[in-house]
Amino acid sequence: MKLVFWAGFWTFLLDQATKWLVVHVLNLRTLGEIDVLPPLLNFRMAWNRGVNFGLFQGDSDAGRWLLIGIAVAIVLFVLVWIWRDPPAKWGKIAAGMLIGGALGNVVDRVLYGAVADFLNMSCCGIENPFAFNVADIAIFAGALGLVLFPGTRKPSGKSGNDTGNTRRKNAP
């Protein structure tokens, strides 16, 4: 669980540091947009009151606290899951990334009332209208990692197909 903690801690810290930098230091809150490597990478301020890509947007306090509750429930679910069926190293790192990202977005909802999204990537003449943040990347990568690097629990062998040590009744 130590590896999960440290992966989550560094993910959370990186997410919050980048948000603080772009919102407060670079003043993206006021500027709205900064071209970094146009058109590939731009900082575009977007306050996400919904879930990924602004789905299920809602300005109510009840909706905000519901999303906070769902995120905390997911974090607790992942913690129990990996405690009961510990994955290998990369699975633990993935779990930490998912947890750190989810908690980073929870802190945004508590502090700002919405998640601070600022990364925007477009390419090849296609204008991407969506923005995301480090936490979103970590949540996606963490979920994918938990699928690719599952736990180590072995089957119990009580499936009825266990023929390893059975003897034949009428063996010669």
Q: What is the pLDDT of residues 120-154, one digit of tens each?
A: 998 888 888 889 999 999 999 999 999 999 877 66
- Host H or E run for residue 118: strand 115-121
> How many Å apart are CA 171 and CA 119, to the nearest integer?
71
| % residues pLDDT > 90 (the chain) | 68
Query: Does 168 have pLDDT greater than 60?
Result: no
Q: Is residue 119 scored above 60 in pLDDT?
A: yes
| 136 has catalytic annotation | yes
Task: Kindly indicate the confidence band of residue 156, based on its pLDDT and cuts at 50, 70 and 90.
Answer: low
Give the whole-angstrom CA distance, residue 44 versus residue 36: 10
Identify whether the C-beta of residue 152 lies closer than 8 Å to the C-beta of residue 85. Answer: yes
Give Cα separations from 28 to 17, 37, 138 (angstroms).
14, 16, 22
- In this prediction, residues 74-87 reach a mean pLDDT of 94
Could you say which of 59, 85, 108, 136 is catalytic? 136
pLDDT tens per residue across span 1-22: 899 999 999 999 999 999 999 9
Catalytic residue (one of 35, 61, 85, 117): 117
Residue 84: CB atoms within 10 Å: 9
d(CA 150, CA 74): 17
Residue 165 has pLDDT above 70, yes or no: no
Whether the predicted model's global pTM rises above the 0.85 cut = no
DSSP letters spanning 21-68: IIIIIS-HHHH-EEEEETTTEEEEEEEE-SSGGGTT----HHHHHHHH
Q: Say which residue, 148 or 54, is predicted with more confidence.
A: 148
Catalytic annotation on 61? no
Residue 133 CB neighbours (<10 A): 24
